[in-house]
Amino acid sequence: MSVDNARPSMVQLIRPRRFGDSRGWFTETYNRETFAALGIDCTFVQDNHSLSAPAFTLRGLHFQTPPRGQDKLVRCVNGRIYDVAVDVRAGSPTYGQWVGAELSAENGHQLFIPVGFAHGFVTLEPDCEVTYKCSDTYAPAHDGGIRWESVGIDWPLPAGVTPELSEKDKVQPTLADFDSPFAYDGRPLTPLA
């Protein structure tokens, strides 16, 4: 398993190693000791799985507020997505900045998104399935988000295409109107290699 951006508890692109032969391949997608060595030392307590039928479905940008914040480990198990993390930690010198990576069933990459970052993705083809591990269970009273287009993310959408959105995501506040409850921990967001 290799990692880009091996700073403890920061957004990280993880590339699990695949072992293949004529039958297919095998990969280890999570190992607590391996992830702890990468600085990801949270305990995951909930797994989620979503299906987005239409291409260019956009989910996000979501988070849970303290004290029920969630670290997430995201991967695409069918299709391709563009996955994004946005720094929403108050006082961070990289507040409002984002990183993104293509995750696909083919490449097997995963994105680790710590507490203090909004998360979202857009599907790049029909019938995308995404799974993610969370470090806390869903807490509706702490559910939050910001509008997908308010951050300046370079979403890979074809010209003239408006993404499919949930009713909830259509009415999220903009980043400019968001009053962040997340504290900056002294580590600015760094680019994914």
Active site residue ranges: 62, 132
Structure tokens of 36?
A: 């702890």
Are 107 and 20 a contacting pair, CB within 8 Å? Answer: no
Candidates 98, 100, 64; CA nearest to 175 is 98
Query: 93, exposed or middle or buried, with CB in 10 Å at 0-12, 13-18, 19+?
Result: exposed
Sequence-separated (6 or more) residues with CB below 8 Å from residue 11: 5, 85, 99, 111, 112, 113, 114, 117, 189, 190, 192
Q: How far is CA 50 from CA 2, 53, 121, 166, 177, in A?
A: 26, 10, 12, 13, 29
3-state secondary structure of 103: strand
> How far is C-alpha 73 from the chain's CA centre?
7
